[in-house]
Amino acid sequence: MLPARALRERWPEYLIEGWALGTFMLSAALFTMLLEHPGSPLNAALGNEHLRRALVGVAMGLTAIALIYSPWGKRSGAHMNPAVTLTFLRLGKVARVDALFYVIAQFAGGLAGVLLAIALAGAAFTEPPVAFIATRPGAAGAGAAFFAEAVISFGLMLMVLVFTGRPRLAPFTGLAAGVLVATYIAVEAPLSGMSMNPARSFAAAAPARLWSDLWLYFSAPLLGMLAAAELVTRTLGRERVRCAKLQHAQDQRCIHCGYSPPLKSPIRRRADERAI
């Protein structure tokens, strides 16, 4: 499909991807400020940094779940992550033109979310300890951060492919993703900041002008997810990889596999119209 035609016919899915990551970034900004900013009552009440980080993880896990199971999330597939989109492209489950516009939307949406947080919160968001919610290597250094990012990204994509490939597990993919996000933030964040997402890291790095370690947040998540895809296709078979949606709703079209929801009968349509 030509890019111009794709934009005309599929722009809602592209915008949803931008909206989803932008919303995720705003949520991350809000909960990080509430729990980590020195002027916040929650920060004063919760003196244990490990507890505060775990609570941020729970908040972000719930945010991910809400976005994945939202009607819009079900429409686009709720990738919210260029590494996820490019892995599904490698698996042949996303068209090249859709992957292009998904990635553009994800980068633009994530950056828009951070810029909005700057406009709304100012120094409370940009200054330490919140510091743009930028992802940076921990005390163990860039090598450890690269390895950690690759491992957690591998784990996330492995879960997505195994769950979505099994009808009994598929409805719980979003819940499992939220649990992993929460767990990774609580446990892994001290090593790399817990990104798994090139667009998420870029969105925070660009306004903060933190370029030195951005390469690892672009490369490690993609390598980890591609490795998970390779493992699944070699062990379970490519046919076990179904659609590039985390939640495949029956009432939403799918631009990836071509699914269209069944048309309502004239009687059902009239009943719906009377209800409205």
**pLDDT grade for 263, boundaries at 50, 70 and 90:** confident
User: Residue 264's pLDDT is what?
Assistant: 58
Residue 186: half-sphere exposure toward Cβ, Cα within 13 Å: 16
Structure confidence at residue 239 (pLDDT)? 85
**Average pLDDT for the chain:** 94
pLDDT at 276 over 80: no
* Omega within 30 of 0 (cis) for the link into 3: no
What burial class does residue 207 get, using C-beta atoms within 10 Å of its C-beta: 0-12 exposed, 13-18 middle, 19+ buried? middle
Taking only the tens place, the pLDDT of each residue in 14-67 is 999 999 999 999 999 999 999 999 999 999 999 899 999 999 999 999 999 999
- Summarised one tens digit per residue, pLDDT across range 66-92 is 999 999 999 999 999 999 999 999 999
Is the pLDDT score of 182 beyond 70? yes
Residue 161 has pLDDT above 80, yes or no: yes
Average pLDDT over residues 228-233: 97
Check pLDDT > 70 for residue 267. Answer: no
The architecture CATH gives domain 3-275: Up-down Bundle (1.20)
pLDDT band at 270 (very low <50, low <70, confident <90, very high): low
CA 66-239-6 angle, 5° bins: 60
Alpha-carbon distance of 233 to 130, in angstroms, equals 40
Residue % of the chain over a pLDDT of 90? 91
- Mean pLDDT, rounded, for 103-118: 98
**Rounded Cα–Cα distance for residues 16 and 148 (Å):** 29
C-alpha of 159 from chain center = 14
**CB atoms closer than 10 angstroms to residue 128:** 9
Distance from C-alpha of 26 to C-alpha of 120, rounded to nearest angstrom? 10
The yes-or-no verdict on residue 268 having pLDDT over 50 is no
* In contact, 36 and 57? CB cutoff 8 Å: no
- What gap in Å lies between CA 87 and CA 246, rounded to an integer? 13
pLDDT digits (tens, 9 = 90+) for 183-220: 999 999 999 999 999 999 999 999 999 999 999 999 99
CA distance 99 to 224: 18
